[in-house]
Amino acid sequence: MEKNKNTEPEQLIENIPAGGEDEQSKSPPSMKATTILEENILPDTEIIATAKPEIINPEPETTDMEVHHHAHDPAAPHHKKNWKNYFRKRVLPSLTNDKYFTERYKWLGEVVTGKVLVIGAGDKSEYYRKIFPTCTVITSDVHRQFAPDIIFDAHAMPFKNDTFNLVIAGQVLEHTMKPWVVASEIERVLKPMGMAHIETPVNFPFHAHPYDFYRFTFTGLRSLFSHCNVQKSFVTEGNGSTVAVMNSELLINFFSNRYLRQIALVTSRILFSWFKYLGNDAKDSVKNIRRLAIPKGIGFTFQFDGRKRSSKELLMEYYEIAKHK
């Protein structure tokens, strides 16, 4: 693959809401992260200092649906407690079950060395640094709210070619206007034989609107990374989780009154949470096509080898799975 050097990032999404900032409260990224950024960033690109967590604006209110970004992960830090979200995440039973989440990232932490870029880190920057203690972790986002190391639009990453050993984009591509461009940028900044860990929803209600653009099937997500081989493919949350989430959303949206919606939220969690245990998740590789019927989420760990695969080659990977119905 001949990589095109990105020289002038173009902002494809305007007016993305940002957390609050105060000029006197800005703190730079860590020294190690700053050094890596200075060495690998494209010319004439500013490293944006990030706001301290304690002065940021409150976290935007979520919708009544299941919190999408790894709500099941107890290690995710919270800069400012939102009691409504805390009640939904920690008190009410969850509608989804991603039982291999910790194991997936633990494996990455064991096999990856060098430089790691996290796209859309959200409030999990410290979690990623704990997972990769021997790596230099660069966290990024499109706003300052959770104090990432750098802020940029993933459609035009401000990094030189062949910079990172691993790029992580968990629940990110659905929020980009041109995910095929973002995928190409991920391949561009990866070192040869570097890895990309990508997780996306397949079935999930409209959320974080208006910045919610796509859903990805197994073949759709695979086709975005045509210069990579597949190290692992997996179902994050299975068919049962989708049924639970959709039933909950249906019940809640029967009502417009705020208090009735809250009652419906609690009721739906109690009624439908058990569905998540009926899902057919896949730990390391999807080997049965039935697992791809209506999963809530899927993911791949790709390895960038630079070889362009034809559409036929990409589809043949699906047909290999389809043999095992």
pLDDT along the chain (325 residues), means of 10: 56 38 42 68 56 31 42 44 73 91 94 97 94 96 93 95 97 97 98 98 94 95 97 93 96 96 95 87 73 91 97 91 69
Predicted confidence at residue 81, as pLDDT, reads 56
Specify burial of residue 23 (Cβ count, 10 A radius: 0-12, 13-18, 19+).
exposed
Per the CB < 8 A criterion, the answer to whether 236 and 281 are in contact is: yes
State the Cα angle at 176 between 74 and 309, rounded to 5°.
100
- Give the containing element (helix H, strand E) for 167: strand 164-170
Per the CB < 8 A criterion, the answer to whether 125 and 118 are in contact is: yes
Predicted confidence at residue 6, as pLDDT, reads 53
Predicted confidence at residue 73, as pLDDT, reads 45
Rg over CA atoms, the chain: 20
Per the CB < 8 A criterion, the answer to whether 55 and 25 are in contact is: yes
**What does the alpha-carbon distance between residue 17 and residue 33 come to, in Å, rounded to a whole number?**
25
Predicted confidence at residue 76, as pLDDT, reads 45
pTM to 2 decimal places:
0.80
Predicted confidence at residue 89, as pLDDT, reads 77
Q: Which CATH superfamily is domain 26-56+66-322 in?
A: Vaccinia Virus protein VP39 (3.40.50.150)
3-state helix, strand, coil in the chain (%, to 5): 35, 20, 45
Q: Based on DSSP, count helices (H) and strands (E) in the chain, helices before strands.
A: 9, 9
**What does the alpha-carbon distance between residue 22 and residue 55 come to, in Å, rounded to a whole number?**
8
Considering only CA atoms, which of 219, 240, 215 is closest in space to residue 300?
Answer: 219
Specify burial of residue 126 (Cβ count, 10 A radius: 0-12, 13-18, 19+).
middle
Dihedral angle computed from the Cα positions of residues 124, 130, 134 and 139, in that order, rounded to the nearest 10 degrees: 10
Pair of tokens at residue 95: 């509608």
- CA quadruple 134, 138, 139, 145: dihedral positive or negative? positive
Predicted confidence at residue 14, as pLDDT, reads 37
Considering only CA atoms, which of 87, 124, 86, 127 is closest in space to residue 106?
Answer: 127
Predicted confidence at residue 18, as pLDDT, reads 39
Residues 6 or more apart in contact with residue 301 via CB below 8 angstroms? 104, 108, 195, 196, 197, 198, 230, 231, 232, 233
Predicted confidence at residue 303, as pLDDT, reads 98
